[in-house]
Chains A and B, each alone.
Chain A
């Protein structure tokens, strides 16, 4: 199967004009391949969608409330005052604008960590898919074995090792472990094997192109849907990372958003701490908006890339 056919799911809209006329003329019966729409099934799916979206609706609604409004009003409906803009400006300025700093930290961890992880996975996946080399089986066994090792089982020894190396409490402690995504490597491997015809690489070699040039100019463009998929998933992982920074970073100036939000939440239960629930909620909303936007905007790429990755799953 060639790579473009994985996007078949997204293309019917473009082809309907051509195909609809003969189809209507034939008027085939409904079947497994051409099923009838079901209202009951749609309603059942609607319930699942309500379950998925309810907490997000709760978040949006409650981000419009003042701290007092949060306590006084019904959770799934708006209170009297609309305080969203006020909450946002408070979130961004509270404690000398520490939220903005956390946002920038997260961005740094994501750009360097997830970007680097994607780059390493693409290089490695391509190498595994298209070259025969000594030690390839060993690479496969080690990486697959490592996937089964819980990341948190590694966290304590990694912390001790990094603290000996003087890396804890620096951005490197978060970035370096983020650079490895075994899932990303696996996905790129399967994707590269499917999407790049070996004959094309042979042709480039015959034409005298070096291996690196072949990779960047011939292979990379064909890998785009796979790259976007891996990038999005490593991005989510890094953006959402909590455990690793929790043990590695003590200085609030280097916190990512996740640690910062939890610190704000815990203020309420510490003695003398000032509860800032409205900021926790608005901050949470601001934290998820970029990722949700990325997923919505890049939908057609990552979904087709994922379909390729799961063929051999």
Chain B
């Protein structure tokens, strides 16, 4: 974190006194955030750790079971099937989405477009649409009832594959998520590109670099930080996949099971299955898996930078 500039106290002689006073003042500003943060982040994590060591049974009530819940999670085929599905989703959807977002951002930044500000806002707009509305819209569009797929089939006498069939539903969800977040990621990349010093481009040009070479050798390395951040956020977002499959479930009950994604599974466990201790355990395991992968992405991003 290079953004933090240490306070220069050199001009004022009693530096030690003023530093300790400033120390308290710093907490006045950060304290409110940290207090709420402790309530909604730290306390639930601690509480779920506590819950994960117990089991609630109809007969016998709550009892301490040590690591039994964790052992169950590691042997739970439904849970790992859901994790596997998310990993498949992740390795396809995230690169497609970020790749497109990067291309769009580079195109905007190149200055070669007509109507640049129109494109910038048009491609960003889906981000302002709630996931619920996005899924309802795409659900209707996919559907055969009054969807475009049904329309095209009727109009041209063809039979397009059903986007909501078990084999295609994951790709259909990937399309919704891509649609929702291309614009957001595009904007992150574009904003990062805007602040790359223009002198770098001119220097590269004098060295005889063509436009493509400037992109690969100057622009992309210059925004590596933004790329890493966007990748981490997308990975975390994928692991949290819930809204889209949960809403599509009513349209495609056979294709989307109650354990389609890890989050759908914890939701089912705690609210339909009344297995809240086990749900807390699964949440924790998911949190750890997510952090490991996010950390790995970060390390990889940093290593390239070196």
Contact = CB atoms under 8 A, between A and B. Distances in A.
B7 A55 contact: no
Interface in B98-113: 100, 104, 107, 110-113
A140 B267 CA distance: 31
B26 A131 contact: yes
Nearest to B148: A75
Contacts of B205: 31-33
A265 B250 contact: yes
Interface string A189-232: 11001100010001000000001100100000000000000000
B141 interface: yes
A236 B104 contact: no
Interface stretch (B57-65, B89-97, B161-169, B286-294): B286-294
Interface stretch (B66-74, B77-85, B183-191): B183-191
Contact of A157 (B25, B194, B229, B283): B283
Contacts of A23: none
B138 A55 contact: yes
A31 to B, nearest CB: 6
B164 to A, nearest CB: 13
Contacts of B34: 124, 139
B192 interface: yes
Interface in A255-307: 257-259, 261-262, 265-266, 269, 277, 280-281, 284, 287-288, 291-292, 294-296, 299, 303, 306-307
Main secondary structure of the interface of A (DSSP, over half): helix
B195 A6 contact: yes
A215 B130 contact: no
B22 to A, nearest CB: 5
Contacts of B145: 71
A98 interface: no
A120 B151 contact: no
Contact of A190 (B3, B127, B250, B270): B3
Nearest to B110: A35
A1 B195 contact: yes
A123 B112 contact: no
B41 A146 contact: yes
B188 A32 contact: no
B243 A52 contact: no
B259 interface: no
Given A132-B19, A313-B229, A41 B110 contact: yes
* Residue among B128, B198, B214, B276 facing the most chain A CB atoms (10 A cut-off): B128
Given A131-B7, A281-B140, 13 more contacts: A35-B211, A55-B179, A62-B146, A71-B145, A75-B140, A124-B34, A152-B242, A153-B290, A157-B280, A240-B129, A262-B247, A265-B250, A307-B191
Which 5 A-B pairs have CB atoms at the shortest separation, nearest pair first? A127-B29, A131-B26, A133-B26, A124-B33, A157-B48
Interface of B: 1-8, 11, 19, 22-30, 32-34, 36-37, 39-45, 47-48, 51, 100, 104, 107, 110-115, 118-119, 121-134, 136-138, 140-141, 145-148, 151, 155, 179, 182-183, 187-188, 191-192, 194-195, 198, 201-202, 204-205, 209, 211, 214, 225-226, 228-229, 232, 236, 239-240, 242-243, 247, 250, 263, 266-267, 270-271, 276, 279-280, 283-284, 286-287, 290-291, 294-295
Interface of A: 1, 6, 9, 31-39, 41-42, 44-46, 48-49, 51-53, 55-56, 58-59, 62, 70-71, 74-76, 120-121, 123-124, 126-136, 139-140, 142-143, 145-161, 176-177, 179-180, 185, 189-190, 193-194, 198, 202, 211-212, 215, 236, 239-240, 242-243, 247, 257-259, 261-262, 265-266, 269, 277, 280-281, 284, 287-288, 291-292, 294-296, 299, 303, 306-307, 309-313
